[in-house]
Amino acid sequence: MQPAQAEAVAQSWRHIVRLEKVDMTFGKVEALSKVDFEVGRNEIVGLLGDNGAGKSTLIKIVSGVLRPTAGRILLRDQPIDLEQYSVRMAHELRIETVHQGQSLGEKQPLWRNLFVGRQLVDRFGFIDVKKEKQIADQLLHQAIGFRGEGITAESTVRDLSGGERQGIAIARAMYFQADLIVLDEPTTALAVNEVRKVLAFIEGVKAGGRACIYIEHNLAHVHEVADRLVILDRGRVVREFARGEISLTDLTNQMIALHEGHARGRS
């Protein structure tokens, strides 16, 4: 592609990511079925659903960790080859994901955690340790969740608190300046004032003209920042609401009704 053409493509796309009729089965378990889901280029999408509704599976497909069993994925309106799609390719296409809980190597120093998967290397393929450490130290000053007490690029993840770990995972996503940031329950381990910082970060993503998929159990948080809410239930998209279309109280009642529906279904 010529630069001019590339520029034209860059200008013209509407959705950073679009899934069409995506199925995902694990053996006999149907985690997702016929899911249509899209995220606009400057949209914050809140993804809601009970445990096991398929939220994490959905974002693992978006971020290249899992390969769907059927369906299409379009990135910036271009269909992609599912055989080729991987975490590495997602990174190259500027899609960053903060996975729930485990996305850091516990025994590894922070500088390795920040750059693993896309290490800074010299022309002989050796990791540029000095540079990675230097950038890691800079990031630590700005990162969410840090009181900055004796934590350096050399510290290992297991020395950090839950909030600090989330902060590192988010800092990693921020550093690589993604067009789409996927956050899977980023506020779980955070104190109240740190949660505000995460919400401010998401608002910053919006202001920067970029997009975000935000999974969150705390309905008040998603309701506050999302442009659109998508509710998953047992692997299907069951409801969508644009911003302002539903009040927080009604949303809460909806979610409780879904949850009780399951309880009745089981009994």
Partner 1 sequence: MAEAESLRIRLLRIEGLPIVAVLLALVAAFMIAAPEVFLGYRIYMSFLATVPPLLVIAVALTLVIAAGEIDLSFPSVIALAGWVLGYCIHELASPWIGFVLALVSGALVGYVNGILVARVGIPSIIATLATQFLWGGLTTVFSQGLSYSLGDVDELWLWRLLVGRIGAFPMQSLWALAVAVVLWFVLNRRRFGEHLLFIGDNAKVAEVVGVNVAREKIRMFVLMGVMAAFASVLLTLENKNFFNTQGAGYLLEVMAAVFIGGTSVFGGQASVVGTVAGSFIIGMVEAGLVATGLQGFWVRAVVGIVFLAAVVGHIVMEEPERGRAVWRALQGKLAFHWKTRL
Q: Which residues bind partner 1 (CB under 8 A)?
A: 60, 63-65, 86-88, 90-91, 97, 99, 102-108, 112, 116-119, 121, 125-127, 129, 154
Longest dimension (CA), the chain: 63
The distance of closest approach from Cβ of residue 65 to partner 1 in the complex, given in angstroms and rounded to an integer, is: 5
Q: What residues are paired with 97 via a beta bridge?
A: 182
Hey, what's the torsion of the CAs at 247, 251, 254, 255, to 10 degrees? -170
Q: What residues are paired with 132 via a beta bridge?
A: none
The distance of closest approach from Cβ of residue 99 to partner 1 in the complex, given in angstroms and rounded to an integer, is: 5
Strand 95-98 relative to strand 180-184, pairing: parallel
Report residue 170 CA to chain centroid gap. 10
Question: Which of 111, 214 has the CB closer to partner 1?
Answer: 111
Question: Which of 152, 247 has the CB closer to partner 1?
Answer: 152
The distance of closest approach from Cβ of residue 113 to partner 1 in the complex, given in angstroms and rounded to an integer, is: 8
SS3 216: coil
Question: Which of 41, 91 has the CB closer to partner 1?
Answer: 91
Kind plus residue range of the DSSP H or E element containing 88: helix 87-92
Question: Which of 33, 63 has the CB closer to partner 1?
Answer: 63
The distance of closest approach from Cβ of residue 102 to partner 1 in the complex, given in angstroms and rounded to an integer, is: 5
The distance of closest approach from Cβ of residue 239 to partner 1 in the complex, given in angstroms and rounded to an integer, is: 28
Q: State both tokens at 215.
A: 């999974």
Question: Which of 87, 246 has the CB closer to partner 1?
Answer: 87
